[in-house]
Each structure stands twice: as C-alpha cells, then as structure tokens.
Amino acid sequence: MRAGIVSDTHVYDRAAHLGERVLEVFRRSEVELILHAGDLTSMDVVDELSEVAEVVAVQGNMDAYYGTRLPEKRVLSLGGMRVLVFHGSGVYPRGDASKLAYIAREHGCDVIVTGHTHAPALVERGGVRIVNPGSPTNPRRSFPSVAVAEFGEGMRVEFVRV
C-alpha cells in the first residue's frame, strides 16, 4: 500500500496555499491514500489532496483555532501493518521518539505517522517505526518536505523536497 504523508501545512495561517508541487509528488508516486498528520488549519487542504487520492487526516494543535474539527487519532491497517496517525500534540519535548513509540504501542500499532516538529524524521524505537514527513509550507531546521511510504513487509519511506 503506497501512501503520501504530509503534516503541518498551516494553510492559510502561515502559508497562502498547499503548493502544486505537493500534489505533483503524490500524483507521480501514484499514492493510493494520503495521510495528513494535523495542523491543516483549513479543510481546503483536504479538498486539494482529495483530487489525488483518499485523505485520512487528524487534528493538530492549531486546527481548533481555525475551526477545523477532526479526530485526534486514527488507527488504520495498511499493507498488513497497524498504523496510528497522530499529530503529536501534548508530547514533550516535541517529537520525543520514546513517548511516540509508547503511544503507538498503546494502540497496538507497528507504525506511528506524526507531525508537530515540522522536520522530517524516520526513527525506530522499541519496535515501532516513527514517520514524520516534515512540513511542505513551514519547515523548521530542514527543507520543505512530504513523504511517500510503501506500507507492508520491507516498509520503505522516501522524503521528497517540495
């Protein structure tokens, strides 16, 4: 199962738009699903991404301020793997791999797709893979990015500059 992964798009509070390059990467990669790990800040992002594939999105810490209402966490079965999609709000320090892995294990998941740090990361902790695509519009200490993941045996993740 090939999925596009994006987070922290912050459209319209910090970015004017999502950017055609994000859509182009997901189209070119022929993703079957797009996971958005929160801080959309506008449901227009879901509408744009839906032009490419089905979108599963979760609530980020900034979403409520802009009227976006989504589930805080989602558990999915992708390619035989249990995947938790969770922004990472309330995890301090931000992006702490041990805490994120613990949350994933609490939900019986092999993988957690997260955001909140605005920096791409792929870490394994305690048997849990932690995937953070970074931010395509508001990166911190990194380049603007999204990720494309192949879920299943031999899971692969590619970070793409956008």
22-65 per-position pLDDT tens digit: 999 999 999 999 999 999 999 999 999 999 999 999 999 999 88
Q: How many domains does the chain have?
A: 1
Structural domain containing residue 149: 2-161
Model confidence, pTM = 0.97
Whether the pLDDT of residue 67 is over 90: the answer is no
Nearest Cα to 144, choosing from 128, 160, 122, 130?
Answer: 160
Res. 155 pLDDT band, cuts 50 70 90: very high
CATH number of the domain where residue 53 is located = 3.60.21.10
